[in-house]
Amino acid sequence: MELNLKRTLTCIILTVLTTLCTHAQTLCVIDGTPLPDSLLHVTIDEMRSDSAKQIVSHRLGLIPPYAIETIQTFSAEEQAKNITFCKTPRDIVFIRTNSFAELQWVLNGKMIKPRKKLTIIDYKLTPQRIMEALPKGIKPTDIGSVNIITYINDPRQEKHPTIVIKTKTFNRLTNQRSLTEESNE
């Protein structure tokens, strides 16, 4: 009985491994960063179509189609000459975004420049990068709230994804002003 169970489990494991190897996914790389399949799952045929930018935009849900500069597709054999993969992808898709994917920063209601540029994709993959890009003079302990605003369905192309930060001191000042205004009424 135990021997049959081991044989059955071995057969199941071999079947799963064979399936994984024969059905490798497309590797998507945006601005030099590989994306996990859970974030963007596309096929090479979709990326070769005329609506590739709309497909990427819709599936990511982060950037509008006009924020995608280029999409290039390659077979894994073309690109894998000098690259070693744990599991060789079926195809490789390189996506390059333009400045419309960069986060604009608003601190306490004023536009500011970050210490280093950050895209909405960078934020989605590793939110900790916000701390690295914080403007000079702002410490993580100063932050009261952080909101990310995306303009996916907005027809105005000048709209960038925006990170809105309010500091704790700004929140206290705002609360004190509103209490003073209420008491004056």
At residue 171, the pLDDT reads 53
Q: How far apart are CA 40 and CA 26, in angstroms?
A: 10
At residue 71, the pLDDT reads 92
Closest CA to 94 of 35, 36, 161: 35
At residue 5, the pLDDT reads 58
Closest CA to 118 of 134, 107, 106: 134
- pLDDT tens for each residue of the chain, 185 residues long: 555 555 655 545 544 444 444 445 778 888 888 887 777 888 888 889 999 999 998 888 888 888 899 999 887 666 555 555 555 667 788 899 998 888 889 999 899 998 888 888 888 888 888 888 888 888 888 888 888 888 777 666 667 888 898 888 765 545 545 545 555 55
How many other CB atoms are there within 10 angstroms of residue 159's CB atom?
A: 17
Q: How far apart are CA 95 and CA 26, in angstroms?
A: 13
At residue 31, the pLDDT reads 87
User: pLDDT tens digits, residue range 164-174?
Assistant: 988 887 655 45
What type of residue is 58? H
> DSSP H helical segments within the chain, as ranges?
2-22, 44-47, 52-60, 76-79, 120-125, 129-133, 168-184
| Extents of the domains making up the chain | 2-98, 102-184
pTM of the predicted structure, to 2 decimals: 0.66
